[in-house]
Amino acid sequence: MSLLSVEDLDVSFRTTRGPVKANEGISLEVEEGEILALIGETGCGKTTFGKAILRLLSKNVKLEGKIFFRGRDLLALSEKEMRRVRGKEIGIMLQNPSLSLNPVLTVGDQIAEIYRWHENCGKKEAGKKAGEMLELVGIAPSKKSEYPHQFSGGMLQRVMVAMGLALHPGLLIADEPTKGLDPQTKQQVADLISGLVRREGSSLLLITHDLEVAERVADRAAVMYAGEIVETGSTGEIFSSPKHPYTRALLESLPGKGLRAVPGQSPSFVSPPSGCRYHPRCEFRMEICSAIRPQLLEIEGGRQVRCLLYEKDAGLDEGQETEQDTGQCMGVDTGQDTGVDTGQDTGVDTGQDTGVDTGQDMGVDTQ
């Protein structure tokens, strides 16, 4: 049984412009002792997802689906039961430590209150424990009597780690822990978090838009776009052979790999694109992509992809194939060779052949 198992989670907000779905059909699993990176660009809904797990979203939100943690559906718990989960079984590091810490309380107090609340510690004992946590994350315990504005960005991030791990939760959710830090500090913080988490045998859900950090630290990765999961797999596999066009584009945007920006703009949540949400920006888009919304399907090697390019290849399609089979021969050749030799004679020789035969059947039948 997975530590965390999210099943078909929908998160929608009631706004003046109508309901907005920030997360749709999210299904995800985090195993014991595993580090899973949730990757995506700013605004794609990953922070909302992180907060949704602990039900920290505002009152006008509707959560549908199931979130199983150690076998219990968190969405079915009462608020009182949920409070016992927060901090103790699942810890979270929110974005922007300078905003997530109360400016009028000392850093030590803000860590100590976790002990006083959950473990009924006395003031002195809790203060001592807070000092120990600070030391664990590399801050002198004497600093516990200082205020957040007296700390640097990197130090504040460490404080957030201390707060998240204070009660040694089974799962830590870290929301953009390296945002706004310089490269060296980024690595330090990333290593600190992953190091501590591994030591405890806990799991980590790392929410980030920073691919390098994800690659450095995570076992597995899930890519999110416009509120949906579009690809999952082990970190190594995803980074070496990305399947979804968006993942590819993301990787190409890295300094080391081309620094090509992902074209186009993030889609609106109020009126998302029809069909596949990525199609307006996709360099491999086909005509059917604007009409049909692809499902997240498993392809070989335990990987999942949400893309019509891989439809035919999907083994476990759960009987949804009939929706995707238009019965038409699309005859659309994008003119771009994806670099994969389909092994089928398409009868159309575009004259461009990059010569890479992955031996996989792409499932694109251009006849």
Partner 1 sequence: MWNYIAKRLLLISVVIFGVTLVSFSAMYLAPGDPAEVIAFARYGQDLSAEQIEAVREAEGLEAPAYIQYLNWLEHVLHLDFGKSLISSDDILEEILLRLPATAELALASLFLSLMIAIPAGVLSALKQNTLLDNACVFTSLLGVSIPNFWFGLLLIWLFALTLRILPSFGYGSLENLVLPALTLGTSMAAVTMRLTRSSMLDVLKQEYIVAARAKGLDERTILIRHALKNALLPVLTFAGMQLGYLLGGTVIVETIFAWPGIGKLLVDSIFARDFAMVQGCVLFIAVLFSLSNLAVDILYAVLDPRIRYDKHD
Residues near partner 1 (CB under 8 A):
51, 54, 56, 83-88, 92, 94-96, 99-106, 113-114, 117-118, 146-147, 149-150, 163
Instruction: Name the residue nearer to partner 1 (CB basis): 22 or 364.
Output: 22
Instruction: Name the residue nearer to partner 1 (CB basis): 134 or 251.
Output: 134
Instruction: Name the residue nearer to partner 1 (CB basis): 107 or 314.
Output: 107
User: Are the C-beta atoms of 307 and 230 separated by less than 8 Å?
Assistant: yes
**Minimal distance in Å, beta carbon 39 to partner 1?**
22
Structure tokens at 319: 């009987």
**Minimal distance in Å, beta carbon 17 to partner 1?**
19
Instruction: Name the residue nearer to partner 1 (CB basis): 150 or 344.
Output: 150
**Minimal distance in Å, beta carbon 100 to partner 1?**
4
**Minimal distance in Å, beta carbon 129 to partner 1?**
14
Closest CA to 69 of 54, 87, 59: 54
How far, in whole angstroms, is CA 98 from its chain's centroid?
22
Instruction: Name the residue nearer to partner 1 (CB basis): 178 or 295.
Output: 178
**Minimal distance in Å, beta carbon 309 to partner 1?**
39
DSSP code, position 86: B
Instruction: Name the residue nearer to partner 1 (CB basis): 101 or 190.
Output: 101
**Minimal distance in Å, beta carbon 77 to partner 1?**
12
Instruction: Name the residue nearer to partner 1 (CB basis): 54 or 230.
Output: 54
Question: By three-state DSSP, how is residue 294 classified?
Answer: coil
Q: What is the DSSP string of 142-153?
A: GGGGS-GGGS-H
Instruction: Name the residue nearer to partner 1 (CB basis): 158 or 281.
Output: 158
**Minimal distance in Å, beta carbon 86 to partner 1?**
4
User: Are the C-beta atoms of 111 and 166 separated by less than 8 Å?
Assistant: yes
What's the length of the chain? 367
Structure tokens at 174: 């870290």
Which amino acid, residue 316?
L
Residue whose token pair is 């109020």: 270
Which residues 6+ apart lie within 8 Å of 314 measured at CB? 297, 298, 299, 321
**Minimal distance in Å, beta carbon 94 to partner 1?**
5
User: Are the C-beta atoms of 178 and 189 separated by less than 8 Å?
Assistant: yes
Burial bucket for residue 241 (CB in 10 Å: 0-12, 13-18, 19+): middle
**Minimal distance in Å, beta carbon 67 to partner 1?**
15
Closest CA to 181 of 173, 172, 192: 192
Other CB atoms within 10 A of residue 189 CB: 23
Percent helix, strand and coil across the chain, each to the nearest 5: 35, 20, 45
**Minimal distance in Å, beta carbon 212 to partner 1?**
26
CA distance 160 to 126: 17
Give CA separation, 291 vs 266, 298, 327, in Å: 19, 22, 14
Strand extents, DSSP E, 71-170: 72-73, 90-93
Instruction: Name the residue nearer to partner 1 (CB basis): 17 or 149.
Output: 149
Phi, psi of 188 (to 5 degrees): -60, -45
Instruction: Name the residue nearer to partner 1 (CB basis): 91 or 242.
Output: 91
